[in-house]
Chains A and B, each alone.
Chain A
Amino acid sequence: MFALLQTSLPHVAQPVVIGVGIAYFTVIVAISVWAARRTRTASDFFVAGHGIGLIALTVASVSTSVSGFAFIGGPGLIYTVGLGAMYIVLPASVTNVMGAWVLAKRMRLLGEARGLMTVPDAIGARYRSPAAQGLAGIAMLVGIIGYMATNALAMGVVINAIFGVGIGWGIWLGMGVTLAYSVAGGILAGIYNDVFQGTLMAVASVLVFLFVLKVGGGLGNISNTILASDPTFLGPWGKMTPLAALSFFFVFGMGSLGQPQGVHKYYMLRDPMQLKWYPLLKTLGLILVLLLYFGVGVGVKAFVTNGMMAPLSAPDQATPSLLLSITPLFLAALVFSGVAAATMSAANSFINIGAAVVMHDLPIAFGKRLKNELFWGRAVTVLIAVAAAIIAQKSGTMVAFLGIFGWGLFASTLVPALAVGLNWEGATKAGAIASIATGLIVTLALETASFRKVFTFPSGVTASAVALVLSFLMFFLFSWLTRRDAKNQIDPDVALIMEL
C-alpha cells in the first residue's frame, strides 16, 4: 500500500534493538525451515495446497494488507495533512466483509472445482479466455514490480536503521532472507511467517497506541492541544479538500476488491465453511494493527505542538522520533522489527504472486503449460527478488513513482472484470479485456504524465481514481455491446458457482 519509506530512518543500532532484531530473524528462519519440508507441489508452493486454517489465514491476510506504510508513511501522512489521511484506512470497516460477499465464496469454490491458483486464473475461467487471463497477468506484473521495488527499499532502510549496515546491504540482507523462505517454503512459509509477523505488528501497534494515550493524557487532551493551535488538522477532511479525502475512500475502498495479495488468499482456506468468521476476525485484526497509524499521527502532532517533541525534519520521522524520544527502548525495538516484518511479509506475498503470473498465467495465455511448475516457480521467485533489489538501489524518486501506482493499477485492472464479472452473468470477455486494458493504459499514461509534470491533476483528482472509474465504464459499455449470448459463454460449473 502506497510508497513506504522515502527518507532514511535514524540509526537505532543499540544492543536491545539488535537483540530483538536477531531474535526476530531467528524465528523467521525456523518457520521457513519447517515450511520448506512441507512444500512438495506447485499447489503447495502457490496456494499452500488449499490447506490453511482460519486463524492463520486471517492473521496472515492482515499482515500482508498493511505493509510498512501503516507504521511509517501513514502516521507521517496524518502528521502532515491531519485526519484526511484516515480516509485511506477507514474503508477497512466495510472492505473485508465486502470482499467476503463479492469474491471469497466464489473464488474458494473455483479453487475447489478447478484447482485454480491465481487471480488471473479466475478471470480466465470466468470468461473462458486465455487472453483476458494473460492481460490480467501482465497488469499484475507491472504493479508487482513497483510494489516489490518499494518494499525492497523499505527493507533496506529499516534494516539499516536496526543494524547500521547501510541501505544497500540492508536491501540485499532483507531480500536475501525473504527470498530464502520464499524459494524454500513458497506461500506456506510466507503464511506462517505472516502469522508471526502479523502478531508482532498487532502487539507493537496496540502497545504504542496505549503509550501515546497515556503520555498524552487521553484522546481528549491530545485533541484539545491540537485544536488550540491548528483546528483544521482535526476537521473531518484534515488539511485536504473534501474531494481528495473522499477519493482516498473510493480508491482504497472499491480498490480493495482488486488487490491480489488479499484476494489470492481466498483460495488457501482449508474448509470453505470457515469463511463464516473470516471478515469479522480480519476486520478486528486490522483495527488493532491500524491503531498505531492513528495514534502516532495524532499523538506526534500534539507532542510537537506542546513542545514535548522537537518538530520533525520529515513526515516519515513521526514514528521513529516518537519511539526514540518517548517510548521505552524495548517497545521501539519491537516496532522496528514490526516494520521489517511488514515489509518482508508484503514482499514475500508479491514475489509469490509475481512468480505465479510468470510461470503459470502467461504460459496459459500463449497456449502452453510448463511441466514442472514447482521448479519454475522457485526459479522465477529468485529472478523477481533480484530484479526488485536492483531496481530498489536506483533513484529513490523512481522507486517512489513505481510504488505509488501499485494499488491503483490493481484496482483499475482487476475490480470490474473480477468482482463484478464473478457476480454478473451478462459480463463478457470483451468487457473484461476492455476494462483491464483501460485500467492498465490509463493508469500508466496518467501516472507517467503526472510524474514527468507534463500534466497536473485538479485538486482532489488522482490517476488511480480516474482509471478505476473509466475501467468500470468500459467494462459495462463493452459488455452491453457484446451482450448477445453472454450467459451461454459460461461453463456450467462456473455458472453454478456464480449462482450460489
Chain B
Amino acid sequence: MTALFALAPLVLLLVGGLLIMLVDAFAKERVEVSALVSTLLGASFVVAAGSLLADPNPSGLPAEITRYLAVDATGYFTDVVLTVAALIATLAAGSYLREHELERPEIYLLLLLSTFGAMVLARAADLIVLFIGLETMSLAVYGMIAMRRNNARSIEAATKYFLLGSFAAAIFLFGAALLYGATGGTSIAAIRDAIRGGHAEPALVMLGLVFTLAGFAFKVAAAPFHGWAPDAYEGAMIPVTGFMSVVVKAAAFASLLRVFTGVFGDPLLMHPTTGWPTLVAALALLSMLVGNLGALGQKNIKRILAFSGIAHAGYVLVGFASLHAVPEDATAAILYYFLAYAGGTGLALASLVAFGSKGLEAVDVDDLVGLGKRHPLLALPMAIAMLSLLGIPPTAGFFAKLFLFQAAAQAGGIFAWLALAGVALSVVSGFYYLRIVVALYASEPAEGAVVARPMRSGYVLLAMVFGSALVVKLGVMPGLYLDLALEAGRGLFH
C-alpha cells in the first residue's frame, strides 16, 4: 500500500482514466470529459507537488517496485513538470475542440494515457519498463495527431511521426539489447554496477551508448535527429502540438538524465575529453544552430515553436554536457529548465489556441498583427511566453538559461565556449520571438486583412492564467524552485 501511495501521481491517472472511460461509455448525457481529465491531472499535480515538498525520498518501499520504477525526488519533480504541461494542453484542448467542433472524448483519454506513459518513462529504473513507458507515451501521441481524420496534413504528420518513431524505437531497443548483452542486466543499477566492476564488454557498452543516445535524441528532437519535428508539430492540432513539444520532450530528457547519470555515469565514460560529454556538447551546439537558424525564416508559429523546441533541446544538452564537472548544479539546472520550458511553450500554444475561433486558427505570425492593440490583456501571455523563451528577466527563461550556462561555464574548457555559443544563439532567437511580440503590439493590420478573432472560452483562459503565473513566478522567485530542483537532483546521486 505504501508503494501505491508513493506512486499516487501515476496511480491516480491510470485508475481515474479508466473510470472516466467507463463513465463516458455509459452516461446518457454528454459528459464534460475535458473538465474531468483536467481535474484528474490537477489532482495528480497536487499530489506530486505535495510529495515533493513533504517526503520526496520515501523509504521502506518494496524492492519489487523500486527495481522497476524510481520513487525519488527526481521522479516527483518530473511528475510535476509533466502534469503541469499536460494540464495546460488539456485545458487548451477543452476550448479548442469545442470551438472548432472537433469534440471527441477519446482524445482526452489518449492524452491522459500518454501522460501516464511519460511519467513511467521519466521514472523508469529498468530499460524494459523504460521502453514500455516510451511506447505507451508515443502510441497515444500518434493517435492524437491522427485524430483529425479528414485533414491530410494531420494524417501525413501522424504517419511520418509513426514511421520515424518506430525507427527510433528500434534503434533504442537495439542499444538496450546490446547493454543487456554486455552486462546481463536490464535494470539501470545492475548495468551500472557491471560497468563499474569491469565485468562488461567495452565494445558492446560503447555501442549500447551510441544507440540509446540516438534513440533519446530522436524523442527530444535534438539535431540531427530532429527532422520529424516541424512536420509533426505543424500537422497536429494546436493543443496536441503543445502536448508533444513539452510532455514528450521533458519525459525523454528526464529518462535520458536517469540513464546517462546511472548507466553511463561511470567517471571513465564521463571523461570530459574522451567520454560522452564532448559528444553531447556537439549535439547541443548542432541543435542550437539548427533550431535557431531554422526558426528564422518560418512564418507558421507552430513551425517556429518546433524549431525553437530543437534549440531548447540544445540548451538542455548544454546542461548534460556539464554533468561531469558539476553534477548537482547541472542536474538542478536541467530540471529547472524543464519547468521553465513547460511554462513558456505551453503558454505560447495555449495563447495560440485562444487567438482562433469558429474553425479559423491563428497560426501564422501575420495572423497576430495588431492583436495586442485590440485585446491587450489576452495577448499578454503570448508576449510573456516569448520573452521567457528568449530568456529575458523577469521571466522563467532568464534564470533557466542562466543556471544552465553557469553550469557549463563552471565546467570550463570547451563547455564554457559552448555556453558562449548558447548565449550568442539566444541573441539570434530574439529575432523570431520578438517578431511575434512586435506583430502583437507594435503593428497595425493592413486594410482589409483578415484579423484573428479570439475565442471566448474559460478553459484556455484558465490555462493562460496558470501558465503566466508559473512563468512570472519562476522569473521573480527562482531561488525557491531552484532549491527544489537541487533537492530533486540529489536523488540521482544517492
A and B associate in one complex: no
B residues contacting A by CB (< 8 A) are none
A residues contacting B by CB (< 8 A) are none
